[in-house]
Structure 1
Amino acid sequence: MSDESRRRRPRIPRRGDLPVATIAELAGVSPPTVSKVLNGRTGVGEQTRQRVEALLRDHGYRRPEDAARTLCIEVLFHHMLPSIALEILRGIQEVADSRDCTVGFVDLRHRVEAGLPWMEPLLLRHPTAVIAVCSLVTAEHGRQLASMGIPLVAIDPGGELFPTPAVGSNNWSGALAATRHLLDLGHRRIGVLTGPVQDLAARARLDGFRAALDHAGISFDDSLERQGVFSFVAGRDLGRELLTRAEPPTALVCGNDLQALGVYAAAHDIGLRIPEDLSVVGFDDVDQATWTSPPLTTVRQPFTEIGATAARLALTLADGHTLPQERYELGTALVVRGSTGPPSIR
């Protein structure tokens, strides 16, 4: 038999290898209940505890070797700016350190581009918990992890993953504050660049933008909206489309900082000055926002706190506890820099 065949042949479960979810099904309880019994925690009726313990003994249940050795949170990334990923990891690490928990991370981009599987190796490693910072993770992946007693927490998921708990920023209020800032400066012809329509964060930011205009009594001109991806190239190309119109906007609210930096490039090519001829607002507050000339006005997301919150939720679930809610939103802050000013008189 070839080495490749050996690698692909499914492993036959040995006695003791049954996952927590199977024990839970046999006992007629939930996986968190089995986890509580395994960890000697309260909140389980005596008869239920005895039934679960008997099944664990009868099936020779053994904790996965890695889990028995140490707690481990595994973080999944895909197509993310390194500066943002590092801030999220910093928050996760702060919480993990307090629990003597290790943190590992996987950039799925290379595995996906090479056509390699990523879910199966993750399940085989059997981490204590998984934090997903990418849109590749689906509700089905969450069910697969749950079947092995591995909790999943998502950071700013692109779509609905319920009942998977999710952590993110209040995108709606962030976009609302950014748009109000431009309105307070006197702008009335404001354009907007959005992210993918299926992205929850992109939709929330667009809704916040429109809410600010509605509150100010300003009808939005749909011709001043462009939808794309969260990238520099999209910002440059879509920004150029708007800025070369017969009646261009005097300000642009961008879906993220990369789009805003692309608008900078488009404005430079056209010969527009920022903020004298065009005001620009981004979203995220990445490192590059302060390196531009002029520095970018943007909405700051608390990435470190988001990572820490996700880690706390993941370890709470791993301890066998339930969460009071499924969605956790942290506050944003508008950071005013040199890219915004009053509209010029044309």
Structure 2
Amino acid sequence: MTLAEVAEQAGVSLSTVSKVLNGRSDVSEATRTKVEQLLDMHGYRRRSQAPPQAPLIELVFHELESVWAMELIRGVENVAKQNKASVVLTESGTRHAPGSDWIEGVLRRRPLGVVLVFSALPDKVKKQLRSRAIPFVIVDPAGDPDPDVPSVGSANWAGGLAATRHLTDFQHERIAIITGPEDMMCSLARLDGYRSAMTMAGLEVDPSLVRFGDFHVQGGFEQAMDLLERPDRPTAIFAGSDLQALGVLEAARLKGLSVPDDLSVVGYDDVPLAQWSSPSLTTVHQPLRQMAEEAARMLLRPHDAGKSALRIELATHLVVRQSTAPPKNS
């Protein structure tokens, strides 16, 4: 059956059939489904099964201005080099689902696969990528990953638990947390780990000590300044990222507080600069580079459509340095 006959049976133009074949976004979902059913029915072999023009792995961030982004880039680069591929970096423009401009661009580039960081994929985008045989993997999904989406994450709940238990073992009782955005799964998992550790220590969680940030230095600084101005200020702060922890250290300095004598601080990620802060930062090691390597390997493995999508979760662990100690008069 020719494309013209498919168009006639579907009651659409030939250009619309071409758009469906090429995964374009400017086709209604109902029309796309109708055309795809006809193509499948008549055994039409789509051009999407042709090999890509260049061996590329596309790595997508909503923003590149972060220290931990470099760890993820290095991880994907390592696997790409082993497979004689190059890495293309793009920004999606939004924290969650990538925008329409991005999807049009990736369909034109036709990479070997796409690694998305902190992104969820709407059904429409998943369908477009699959229509062009472009595999995709999400690293540390922003929400609960769909069962049909391969993903790589880390043990965020266990990380939050370990960070907080380290502080309760030092006999801290007023422990604040500055986690990440309220609508991201990793932030909430770390918060749940914090709550569990507080409960295990027989301590109540003071809601006023639970803060949501944005994983950046400025957000950590602003939340810490507010927390440290309280008459009943916390004796310890668990920050949901090392960058936020650096903001906490600066706030403590401006308030004339010594870390760890007056305030203990724990970060999260264990990026390289954590060991060079003053004092060096106690933090939860998140295997960012390994997460990226696993995601890239998943893209390059042969896929079995009959199997459910794979979810890999890597372990986290506490790295104790110089920013934590028992509270005064404990």
Secondary structure of the structure 2 residue equivalent to 1:130:
strand
The CA deviation string for residues 287-333 of structure 1, in whole angstroms up to 9 with x for no partner, is 2212211011111111111011111212225x455655543211112
Map of 2:177 onto structure 1: 192
- Please show how residues 280-291 of structure 1 align to structure 2 within 5 Å: 280-291=265-276
**Residue 132 in 1 paired to residue 134 in 2?**
no
Map of 1:101 onto structure 2: 85
Any conservation in 2 of the 1:280–1:296 contact (CA below 8 Å)?
yes
Q: TM-score, normalised by structure 2?
A: 0.81
Map of 1:91 onto structure 2: 75
Structure 1's 223 and 68: CA in aligned 2 closer, same or farther, altered over 3 A?
Answer: closer
* Cα drift, residue 116 of structure 1: 9.0
Any conservation in 1 of the 2:270–2:283 contact (CA below 8 Å)?
yes
Map of 2:134 onto structure 1: 150
**Residue 183 in 1 paired to residue 168 in 2?**
yes
Secondary structure of the structure 1 residue equivalent to 2:63:
coil
Any stretches of 5+ residues in structure 1 without a counterpart?
Answer: 1-10, 30-50
Q: Residue type of the partner of 1:86?
A: M
Structure 1's 14 and 237: CA in aligned 2 closer, same or farther, altered over 3 A?
Answer: closer
Q: Residue type of the partner of 2:227?
A: L
* Cα drift, residue 247 of structure 1: 0.9
Secondary structure of the structure 1 residue equivalent to 2:86:
strand
- Please show how residues 1-346 of structure 1 align to structure 2 within 5 Å: 12=15, 18=21, 25-26=37-38, 28=40, 55-56=44-45, 62=47, 67-109=51-93, 117-135=101-119, 137-162=121-146, 163-316=148-301, 319-320=303-304, 325-345=309-329
Structure 1's 116 and 62: CA in aligned 2 closer, same or farther, altered over 3 A?
Answer: closer
* Cα drift, residue 336 of structure 1: 0.7
* Cα drift, residue 73 of structure 1: 1.6
In the aligned structure 2, how far is the partner of 1:345 from the partner of 1:269?
23
- CA RMSD between the two structures: 3.0
Secondary structure of the structure 2 residue equivalent to 1:135:
coil
Secondary structure of the structure 1 residue equivalent to 2:125:
helix
* Cα drift, residue 239 of structure 1: 0.7
Any conservation in 2 of the 1:193–1:225 contact (CA below 8 Å)?
yes
Structure 1's 14 and 186: CA in aligned 2 closer, same or farther, altered over 3 A?
Answer: closer
In the aligned structure 2, how far is the partner of 1:109 from the partner of 1:300?
28
Any stretches of 5+ residues in structure 2 without a counterpart?
Answer: 1-13, 24-31
In the aligned structure 2, how far is the partner of 1:98 from the partner of 1:26?
40
Any conservation in 1 of the 2:174–2:235 contact (CA below 8 Å)?
yes
Structure 1's 136 and 320: CA in aligned 2 closer, same or farther, altered over 3 A?
Answer: closer
Percentage of pairs with the same residue? 41
Q: Residue type of the partner of 2:55?
A: L
Any conservation in 1 of the 2:141–2:151 contact (CA below 8 Å)?
yes
Any conservation in 2 of the 1:139–1:164 contact (CA below 8 Å)?
no
In the aligned structure 2, how far is the partner of 1:310 from the partner of 1:25?
31
Aligned residues: 303
In the aligned structure 2, how far is the partner of 1:19 from the partner of 1:120?
10
- The more displaced of 283-292 and 156-165 is 156-165
The CA deviation string for residues 86-123 of structure 1, in whole angstroms up to 9 with x for no partner, is 3222222332333333322213459xxxx992221111
Any conservation in 1 of the 2:163–2:318 contact (CA below 8 Å)?
yes
* Cα drift, residue 269 of structure 1: 1.0
